[in-house]
Amino acid sequence: MTTNRLEAFSDGVIAIIVTIMVLELHSPARADWPSLLKVAPALVSYGLSFLIVAIMWVDHLHLIHVAHKVTAALLWSNLNLLFWMSLVPFVTDFVGKNYREPMAVALYGLDLFFCSCAFYLLRKELMRQAGTDSNLVDYHASVQRKNAMSAALYFSAPPPYVTVYASFFIFALIPAMYFLPEKKLASPQDH
């Protein structure tokens, strides 16, 4: 199997994830502000989840392009990531309909925590493949710290039973982290 096939399969799964999320959105029955406000939580949860999935897709694209070869470990770690990502439409819909309920907010954060862990494991396999290429190892290590920080923040977000809004703040903060400038390392595409 080539990395192109792995990338195509993963892109297809991610496209289906986004499609399912948008199909869960329903327009209000009436064209007035109160009706629109009733669906606002679903729109906000969709927007946040779309941004998170978009960041995951971009990161995944960069990851697969630096794979030296498709191994069983790479395939299984990729499938692990896709599994947790495939639950994003469910938790997005659940939290959009129950945004004040601690269980819904906790489940949303837990799925994103497992997505972050899955990215960590996928990158770990690619770090193993990089071997002694110090630029590639440094690049992966830099991004790996961000993956670990994301996982820790998702896991340690204030318990939603204390305040769901603090959890939502953490959930929105994490994607913002990915837009901050990083220390410039040699890009894997430079190799």
pLDDT reported for residue 180? 75
Using one digit for the tens of pLDDT, what is the confidence trace for 154-168?
988 767 667 888 899
pLDDT reported for residue 78? 96
Question: Are the beta carbons of 92 and 108 closer than 8 angstroms?
Answer: yes
pLDDT at 82 over 80: yes
pLDDT reported for residue 185? 45
Report d(CA 13, CA 24) in Å as an integer: 17
Amino acid (one-letter) located at 124: K
Using one digit for the tens of pLDDT, what is the confidence trace for 18-68?
999 999 999 998 999 999 999 999 999 999 999 999 999 999 998 888 888
Range of the domain at 172: 3-190
Using one digit for the tens of pLDDT, what is the confidence trace for 93-111?
999 999 999 999 999 999 9
Rounded to the nearest 10 degrees, the angle between the axes of helix 33-65 and helix 102-130 is 20
Query: What is the total count of domains within the chain?
Result: 1
pLDDT reported for residue 161? 67
- Based on C-alpha coordinates, what's the Rg of the chain? 18
